[in-house]
Amino acid sequence: MNLYSRRSFLFGCLCFVAGLKLLSPPLASAQIPYPTQPTADAQRNTSSQVRSQISWLQNATRTAPSYGEQGVGQVAERFQSVRGAYESFKQTLGPRQLADGGNALAELDAGLNIIQESFENFRTDVADGRSVNSALRDLCQVLREASQLWLQEFNKTCSRLRTGWH
């Protein structure tokens, strides 16, 4: 292979590799090969988001009874937002925090599951002939009280795990 052929070959290889790079799709965030390290800022932000979602749920439980059937959807949506914020929070915890707080986190998960059951109780009440407005008032009261207790446990767990204190 002469010098000209070798340069042409190398140039062709270089163009081929560059073309592959240009044609390949960019990595999505889920394709990052290494997990991101939890940061104190992420923990503070997500725990704050959980608290905000609880506050919004509490507000929804105060206004929902005046909306009847639509009120049920509003509080259900707000409750799912609490769940989502809590799941995001758990993803910011480090391995040590997950290990140390395993039981407390499982209890918080169970607490959300128990609160979720109040929606089924509402449906059962309505199916049994109770008025939507009466059943909704009771649902909202249960959600308000239960979410406040859950938030107290969440705050205790955050304090014990020293989230956001790195």
Domains within the chain, CATH numbers bracketed:
39-161 (1.20.120.1730)
How many Å is the Cα radius of gyration of the chain?
26
pLDDT level of residue 48 (50, 70, 90 thresholds): very high
Query: How confident is the model at residue 125, as a pLDDT?
Result: 93
Long-range contacts of residues 129-132, Cβ cutoff 8 Å, at least 24 apart: 132/68, 132/69, 132/72
Distance CA 131, CA 114 (A): 23
105-122: per-residue pLDDT in tens? 999 999 999 999 999 999
Could you tell me the pTM of the whole model?
0.74
**Amino acid identity, residue 141?**
Q
Q: Which two tokens stand for residue 9?
A: 């070959």
Q: In the chain, helix, strand, coil percent, each to 5?
A: 85, 0, 15
> Taking the C-alpha atoms of 113, 116, 122 and 127 in order, what is their torsion angle to the nearest 10 degrees?
-70
Residue, of 39 and 84, whose pLDDT is higher: 84
**Residues 6+ away with beta carbon under 8 Å from 105:** 90, 93, 98, 157
Rounded-to-integer distance, Cα 74 and Cα 57, Å: 9
Q: Are 164 and 47 in contact (CB under 8 A)?
A: yes
